[in-house]
Structure 1
Amino acid sequence: MDAPDIRPLTADQLRAVKSIIDDVGLFAPDLLDEMTAAFLDGAAPDDLWFVAVADGTACGVAYCAPERMTEGAWNLLLIAVRKNHQGEGLGAALTRHVEQALAERKARIVLVETSGLPSFEPTRAVYRRLGYVEEARIRDFYAAGEDKVVFWKKIQSVAA
């Protein structure tokens, strides 16, 4: 695989991003229209939506938004990589790209929430490798027996 080209999401990429979401089974792909609408029409200029393209195909997506009522705190709300590209470093590249964009916006911290189920351990391991620290665990959050795990990372500022 060539090095991914990571760029802001455009409306013409929405169908490809829906297929990524469908491929990984995170949520119903139709929710993406509502999730991206404000970004695509310019009403949410602070939101960050990125698509990773490798070998001419959209194979990853990331979404990050500022946390309301905070100073410089952001939530990384979505990272998804097409199954046939998982394990190639694409998720890490997307995460680093988001972190760089946040540094340019003078963000202080970024939070990531994920499931505490055993099947999500590979996801949590990726965040740990990328320097994220497990900051909180909320028991039985998503469902009985499924905790929410919150990771935290300080964003390194970019010299002007």
Structure 2
Amino acid sequence: MLVGQFKIDRVSTTVEAEEIVKFLLSDYSFDDTRYTPGELVHFRELPYRALKNELSFWYAKDEQGKIVGINCVAENEQKTGGYSWDYLVVHHDYRKAGVAAMLIEQMYVFLKEIQARYLVTYTCDLPEYDRIRQLFEKSGFTLVGRCPDYYYEGEDRLIYHRKLV
């Protein structure tokens, strides 16, 4: 789907998955690059899990075909219509260009089509994550929990919830 100057697609080939992994591990994806070992596994596996229909994964490309953002959700293990929103990442140079909004819109269209009941997401409590916390709160999410020292000592996991239907 072409939206403005960006093309939004769902990952469907191993070539796309490889490009997404390179983007996720690049210097221009995350602000905080002190990745946990589990995050590194996620970055390398998530696009390929989407190829097996284990989750839904969108990516945005600019006019030159460069990946500039990704977004993914997966139904939770209960299989009752609850979804987990895992990663929303936008290239440093494309922030405030509407990429995140377009990826989120595609996600909400999908969640509405499948009649998802709720969406749970999470982030870290460090200052580097202020923008994503603000995005969650502006988007109708409620902070429902905190798991102390989840990522590393002194780095709490904040859990957010939004009812969809």
Structure 1 position 51 matched with structure 2 position 59? yes
Q: How does 1:13-52 map to 2 (within 5 A)?
A: 13-21=16-24, 22=26, 23-25=28-30, 27=35, 32-40=43-51, 42=52, 45-52=53-60
In structure 1, list runs of 5 or more residues that go unmatched: none
Match of 1:7 in 2: 9
Q: How many residue pairs were aligned? A: 153
Match of 2:154 in 1: 145
Give a deviation string over 1:65-124, Cα, whole Å, max 9, x none: 111025111001111111111122211221221121011111100111100112211111
Contact kept in structure 1, 2:17 and 2:48, CA below 8 Å? no
Q: RMSD across aligned C-alpha pairs, in angstroms?
A: 2.3
In structure 2, list runs of 5 or more residues that go unmatched: none
Letter in 1 for 2:116: A
Q: TM-score by structure 1 length?
A: 0.83
Give a deviation string over 1:116-152, Cα, whole Å, max 9, x none: 1122111111122222221212222212211101111
The 3-state SS of whatever aligns with 1:15 is helix
The CA distance in 2 between the partners of 1:74 and 1:31, in whole Å, is 17
The 3-state SS of whatever aligns with 1:142 is coil
The CA distance in 2 between the partners of 1:102 and 1:132, in whole Å, is 15
Letter in 2 for 1:123: I
The CA distance in 1 between the partners of 2:73 and 2:163, in whole Å, is 15
